[in-house]
Amino acid sequence: MNFSELFKLSGPLGRFSPDGRCLASCMQYRLVVRDAGSLQILHLYTCLDQIQYIEWSSDSLFILCAMYKRGIVQVWSLEQPDWHCKIDEGSAGLVASCWSPDGRHILNTTEFHLRITVWSLCTKSVSYIKYPKACQQGIAFTKDGRYMAVAERRDCKDFISIFVCSDWQLLRHFDTETQDLFGIEWAPNGCVLAAWDTCLEYKILLYSLDGRLLSTYRAYEWSLGIKSVAWSPSSQFLAIGSYDEKVRILNHVTWKKITEFEHPATVANPKTIVYKEVEKSPSVETERLSFPPTRALANSLFSTQSKYAISEVPLSLHYVKPAADRANPKMGIGMLAFSPDNCFLATKNDNIPNAVWIWDIQKLKLFVVLEQLCAIQCFQWDPRQPRLAVCTGNSNVYLWSPAGCVSVQVPVEGDFPIVSLSWHSSGDSMVLLSKDNFCVCYLEREEVK
Answer yes or no: are the C-beta atoms of 345 and 335 closer than 8 Å: no
Report d(CA 72, CA 57) in Å as an integer.
Answer: 17
Q: Assign 3-class secondary structure to 214-247.
A: EEEECCCCCCCCEEEEEECCCCCEEEEEECCCEE
CB of residue 261 to other proteins, shortest distance in Å: 25
Compute and round to an integer the Cα radius of gyration of the chain.
Answer: 22
Stretch that binds other proteins, among 145-153, 286-294, 356-364, 433-441 (CB under 8 A): 145-153
HSE of 195, CA atoms in CB hemisphere, 13 A:
32
Report d(CA 35, CA 368) in Å as an integer.
Answer: 36
Q: Quick check: 146 binds other proteins (CB under 8 A)?
A: yes
List the interface residues with other proteins, window 55-74 (CB under 8 A): 58-59, 62
In the stretch 342-381, what mask flags binding to other proteins with x, by CB under 8 A? ----------------------------------------
Amino acid at 436: D
Q: Quick check: 189 binds other proteins (CB under 8 A)?
A: yes
Stretch that binds other proteins, among 162-170, 328-336, 356-364, 431-439 (CB under 8 A): 162-170
Q: Quick check: 164 binds other proteins (CB under 8 A)?
A: yes
Which residue of 208, 216, 328, 426 would you call a contact of other proteins, by CB under 8 A? 208
Nearest to 362 by CA among 382, 339, 381: 339
Which parts of 371-427 fold into alpha helices (H)? none
Asked if the bond preceding 270 is cis, omega within 30° of 0, the reply is: no
Stretch that binds other proteins, among 205-213, 322-330, 422-430, 438-446 (CB under 8 A): 205-213
Q: Quick check: 179 binds other proteins (CB under 8 A)?
A: yes
DSSP 444: -
Stretch that binds other proteins, among 75-83, 345-353, 366-374, 416-424 (CB under 8 A): 75-83
Report d(CA 373, CA 263) in Å as an integer.
Answer: 18
Which of 124/256 has CB closer to other proteins? 124
Which of 142/272 has CB closer to other proteins? 142
77: Cβ contacts below 8 Å, ≥ 6 apart = 61, 62, 83
Report d(CA 403, CA 9) in Å as an integer.
Answer: 34
In the stretch 83-122, what mask flags binding to other proteins with x, by CB under 8 A? xxxxxxxxxx---------xxx-------x-xx---x-xx
Which of 29/168 has CB closer to other proteins? 168
CB of residue 337 to other proteins, shortest distance in Å: 24
Buried b / exposed e along 397-410 (16+ C-beta atoms within 10 A):
bbbbbbbbbbbbbb
Which residue of 2, 169, 300, 316 would you call a contact of other proteins, by CB under 8 A? 169
Q: Quick check: 51 binds other proteins (CB under 8 A)?
A: no
Report d(CA 261, CA 246) in Å as an integer.
Answer: 5
Total number of residues binding other proteins (CB under 8 A)?
51
CB of residue 54 to other proteins, shortest distance in Å: 18
Contacting positions for other proteins (CB under 8 A): 58-59, 62, 75, 77, 82-92, 102-104, 112, 114-115, 119, 121-126, 146-147, 153, 155-156, 164, 166-169, 171, 179-180, 189-191, 200, 208-210, 222, 253
